[in-house]
Structure 1
């Protein structure tokens, strides 16, 4: 198993445990000989997600996602209003609506890339800090300050994820 040595980290106490068994059918390893397991960094949960990889797969482009938290941002409405006002289209009503929504999606993508990049950097830094503290907890007891940093980092991650940071 790659990644973290432990798959469970207690939120308040530093109790660690490891899930190291998987239930598969008898033909699984014959069909997927290159299978590997990786314990990914945990984010909001107290358990590390486990990734069971068999082969690389390409599922095409990522779908567009609109987070409800974006709608509470001050500049969201102006982005939507500007996108809808500057749209020029023609055709049957259904094609017109589809083109208008596609234009709105492109404007929101541009807005997301520019305005949320700062939050992404902050979120990545906090996740690295919490992950490094989790890795340190695997080999030693964390100090009081480190325990508080880990707790505050988890709270900040929850807050930023609520806003839909990428």
Structure 2
């Protein structure tokens, strides 16, 4: 298996730096990749050679689960501010100690809040079908124009 290259897209540069190619590769067996799954190559800055040195790198970085995800579109829903304001003033929310716990609490509240009505979901599906039809027509026109040229 060819190990993915990170840092740069090339491993060789001519002296004038006008041509760049990825000619250096590292192949490892599938057993090594199953043990070290997050392994990658990092192309380091070029020294005296025209080849970039490669660093075989394996680092597992896990920051844990995301405590809170907020989509910008949620803020536009009419009930969003009311839901947040009510829950921030809730005694249970105020009793939570850490900021992380408070964000987790709000995450559960927002997941359970029905911000989108059934009518809006149906309208979205209808509009999506209409948009798909329009895009297919435009694709057919573009294909015909490309054949003519």
Normalising TM by the smaller chain, what interval? 0.3 to 0.5
Give the structure with the higher percent helix.
1
Larger Rg: 2
Which one has more relative contact order, counting CA pairs under 8 Å at least 6 apart?
A: 1
